[in-house]
């Protein structure tokens, strides 16, 4: 006859099944969790009861399970690449939902844990199996909680506070989108790198393969500067900002050769110098 155990609703013991589900390579990074014995008989002492009720237990299982849940929200990088300001980072810490979801998907909850023989040594879960379970749990939870539209907004409208100030690919990708300079073909450089400047005024032009678009894009007078250009020059500038090469721009806009685009870019640079002098930036 099975025995039903009841615990206070907010007792951290309800997260014990999640502890035993952690893959070995993740568990060993948790100083408190890794010390727990892997059998219910050995765990049934007052000493371990105090450990399970400690803040260290709660904090470590929150961090560990959040790192398992985060990748399945469809955002780049790891949870550690984001700050607590990021909504998805916060959602990954919805520990009660993950405990409930794992029990629903796999049947791995407190009652299943306590039904094990006292001396049964709980084996480590296969990392790929854990990944598959968490993927299903997160997806089901997103649908149940109606998080889909919110996640789309977060994905389309990130902000600087969402990311740690580290030199990571996810942050670089965010910055490229933020400044509209995302490109796999062209390495953009600043205006100062493209043009010489002796007296705080630009007075010389770079070689045709230079690019001043990132600096122009980043300035708050960019829209007014664009308004001074012809429709075709504006199209050339915008394509350069997006990372297209001269030949690609020529093909898109109907120029016979890329040299015509190079000449137009030089004209745009000259117009920029004139515009800067006129506005006194």
Counting the structural domains of the chain, the total is: 2
Same domain, 153 and 24: yes
Same domain, 50 and 106: yes
177 is a domain residue: no
The DSSP line for 237-258 is HHHHHTT--HHHHHHHHT-SSH
145 is a domain residue: yes
Helix (H, G, I), strand (E, B) or coil at 147: coil
Helix (H, G, I), strand (E, B) or coil at 209: coil
For residue 131, give its domain range: 12-159
Among candidate residues 150, 15, 34, 170, the one with its CA nearest the CA of residue 94? 15
Mean pLDDT by 10 residues, the chain (281 residues): 47 92 95 94 83 93 97 92 93 96 95 93 96 97 94 86 86 73 43 37 43 51 78 84 80 84 84 74 56
SS3 content of the chain, % helix, strand, coil (to 5): 60, 0, 40
Q: Which residues contact 208 (CB under 8 A, 6 or more apart)?
A: 246, 262, 265, 266
111 is a domain residue: yes
Per-residue model confidence (pLDDT) at position 18: 97
Per-residue model confidence (pLDDT) at position 190: 40
Same domain, 234 and 121: no
Same domain, 195 and 271: yes
pTM value surpassing 0.85? no
Per-residue model confidence (pLDDT) at position 88: 95
Beta bridge partners of 163: 82
173 is a domain residue: no
Per-residue model confidence (pLDDT) at position 1: 38
Same domain, 132 and 238: no
Q: Which residues contact 113 (CB under 8 A, 6 or more apart)?
A: 16, 17, 20, 40
């Amino acid at each position: 006859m099975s025995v039903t155990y009841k615990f206070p609703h907010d007792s951290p013991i309800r997260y014990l099944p999640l502890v035993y589900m952690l893959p070995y390579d993740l568990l060993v990074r948790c100083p408190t969790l890794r010390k727990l014995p892997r059998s219910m008989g050995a765990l049934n002492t007052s000493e371990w009861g105090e450990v399970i009720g400690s803040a260290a237990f709660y904090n470590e299982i929150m961090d560990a399970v959040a790192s398992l849940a985060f990748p399945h929200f469809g955002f780049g990088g790891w949870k550690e690449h984001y700050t607590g300001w990021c909504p998805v980072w916060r959602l990954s810490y919805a520990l009660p939902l993950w405990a409930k979801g794992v029990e629903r998907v796999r049947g791995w909850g407190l009652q299943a844990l306590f039904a094990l023989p006292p001396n049964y040594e709980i084996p480590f879960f296969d990392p790929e199996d854990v990944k598959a379970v968490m993927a299903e749990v997160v997806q089901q939870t997103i649908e149940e909680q109606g998080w889909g539209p919110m996640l789309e907004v977060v994905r389309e409208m990130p902000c600087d506070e969402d990311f740690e100030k580290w030199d990571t690919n996810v942050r670089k990708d965010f910055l490229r989108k933020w400044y509209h300079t995302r490109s796999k073909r062209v390495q953009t450089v600043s205006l100062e790198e493209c043009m010489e400047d002796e007296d705080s005024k630009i007075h010389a032009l770079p070689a045709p393969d230079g690019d001043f678009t990132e600096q122009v894009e980043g300035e708050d007078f960019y829209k007014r500067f664009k308004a001074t250009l012809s429709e075709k020059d504006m199209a050339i500038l915008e394509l350069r900002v997006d990372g297209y090469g001269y030949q690609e721009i020529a093909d898109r806009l109907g120029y016979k050769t890329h040299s015509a685009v190079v000449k137009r870019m030089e004209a745009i640079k000259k117009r920029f110098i004139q515009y800067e002098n006129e506005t006194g930036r």
